[in-house]
Structure 1
Amino acid sequence: MPITNLNNLHLTAEQLTAAQDALTQLETTLAVININLTADDRRKYGSINEQNKLFVNKVNDYNTSQPALSSPEVDWTEFTADFASRQSYEALIARLDSLHTRLDNAKTLHDYDNYQAALTDYAYTSYKAGTSAPGFETKYDDLKQFFAKSASPVTPPADGAGQ
């Protein structure tokens, strides 16, 4: 017998509304930085790898601790703003990724519970259809399409095979 009801925790309607409102507020707040990159833009600008992040961090450290060594050709005010934004966005992304993982895990358990309950209902429907109980044959015929057997022909082994 399969394990069922792996996740009996459910958000209330008020909690769902609060979460949706919070997401709407987040989307509204972040709309100012909403930039759509094309696939070509993504390839062109990409994301700096870990080695290059270390390089940027080191340049920032030098600019902060020894500004006299910094290039006058760099807009250091903008560099500092970009650096702070990148760090803030990275922290937000990590939190959103964590929320995504937790929501996905909870959804996975609810999906499993739904599927197991649906299988139980299908088995009951199959039984009742076999007893000619009214309505169950139609329901069974409608549900059995989800369990279509694959028609893969079995080739008999050649003479002497398997010996």
Structure 2
Amino acid sequence: MPLSNLNNAHLTQAQVTAAQDALTALENALSMLTVTLTASERSTYGSVNEQNKLLINKVWDYRQNSPNLSSPDLDWAEFENDYKSRNVMESLQNRIDALLERIKNSKILYDYDNYQSALDDYAYTTYKAGSQAPGYETKMNEMKQFFNRSGKGKEKPAPETDSPTA
């Protein structure tokens, strides 16, 4: 028998409400960030790789410690605002990504547990239908559609879960 109940940690309704309220508060706090980039724009503007980030950090460091060596043609106040905002966004993104990974992992285990329970219920239903118990044959016939009858083996269909993305 396969393992079941891999994730027995369930949020209370108060915790669900608190999480939903926190997300709403976060959405409201960040509502002024309305920029939506196209795939092409993401490709164009998203080209600041780790090496380029090191360059940005070095320029910022020189600006902080030796401002006399900075280009007079740049709007350094805007550079500073962009730099600070970039760091805030990166920190928020890292925290949200970590939360998202935890949520995805929990959901995968809940999906797996539900799927195993559904298979157990189907097996029970087919057993009861075989003994002519009332209602079970109808239930079994409605559930049969979810199983592949190709005759290539007796593999159980895999549960469909969202595949993690980077």
TM-score (norm 1): 0.90
Could you tell me how far 1:43 is from its partner in structure 2? 2.1
User: Hey, what's the Cα distance between the residues in 2 that align with 1:21 and 1:72?
Assistant: 46
Could you tell me how far 1:151 is from its partner in structure 2? 6.4
Could you tell me which amino acid in structure 2 is paired with residue 98 of structure 1? Answer: A
Could you tell me how far 1:127 is from its partner in structure 2? 0.4
Q: For this pair of structures, how many residues does the alignment match? A: 152
User: Hey, what's the Cα distance between the residues in 2 that align with 1:67 and 1:150?
Assistant: 73
Alignment of 1:75-114 (within 5 A): 75-114=75-114
Alignment of 1:33-52 (within 5 A): 33-52=33-52
Give structure 1 stretches of 5+ with no counterpart. 153-163
Q: Which has the higher contact order (CA 8 A, sep 6+)?
A: 1
Match status 1:63 vs 2:57: no
**Paired position in structure 2 for 1:115:** 115
62-71 or 38-47, which moves further after superposition?
Answer: 38-47
Could you tell me how far 1:103 is from its partner in structure 2? 0.9
User: Hey, what's the Cα distance between the residues in 1 that align with 2:53 and 2:10?
Assistant: 41
Q: SS at the partner of 1:103?
A: helix
* Superposed structure 1 runs of 4+ greater than 4 Å apart: none
Q: SS at the partner of 1:48?
A: coil
User: Hey, what's the Cα distance between the residues in 2 that align with 1:2 and 1:47?
Assistant: 46
Match status 1:4 vs 2:4: yes
Q: SS at the partner of 1:146?
A: coil
TM-score (norm 2): 0.88
Could you tell me how far 1:44 is from its partner in structure 2? 2.1
Structure label with greater radius of gyration: 1
User: Hey, what's the Cα distance between the residues in 2 that align with 1:29 and 1:40?
Assistant: 28
Could you tell me how far 1:42 is from its partner in structure 2? 1.4
- 1:47-101 Cα shifts (integer Å, max 9, x gaps): 4100000011101111110000000111001101100110111010000000001
Give structure 2 stretches of 5+ with no counterpart. 153-166
CA RMSD of aligned residues (A): 1.2
User: Hey, what's the Cα distance between the residues in 2 that align with 1:134 and 1:71?
Assistant: 85
User: Hey, what's the Cα distance between the residues in 2 that align with 1:52 and 1:102?
Assistant: 30
**Paired position in structure 1 for 2:128:** 128
Could you tell me which amino acid in structure 1 is paired with residue 126 of structure 2? Answer: S
Q: SS at the partner of 2:4?
A: coil
- 1:12-38 Cα shifts (integer Å, max 9, x gaps): 111101100000010011010121112
User: Hey, what's the Cα distance between the residues in 2 that align with 1:150 and 1:54?
Assistant: 56
**Paired position in structure 2 for 1:140:** 140
User: Hey, what's the Cα distance between the residues in 1 that align with 2:19 and 2:65?
Assistant: 42
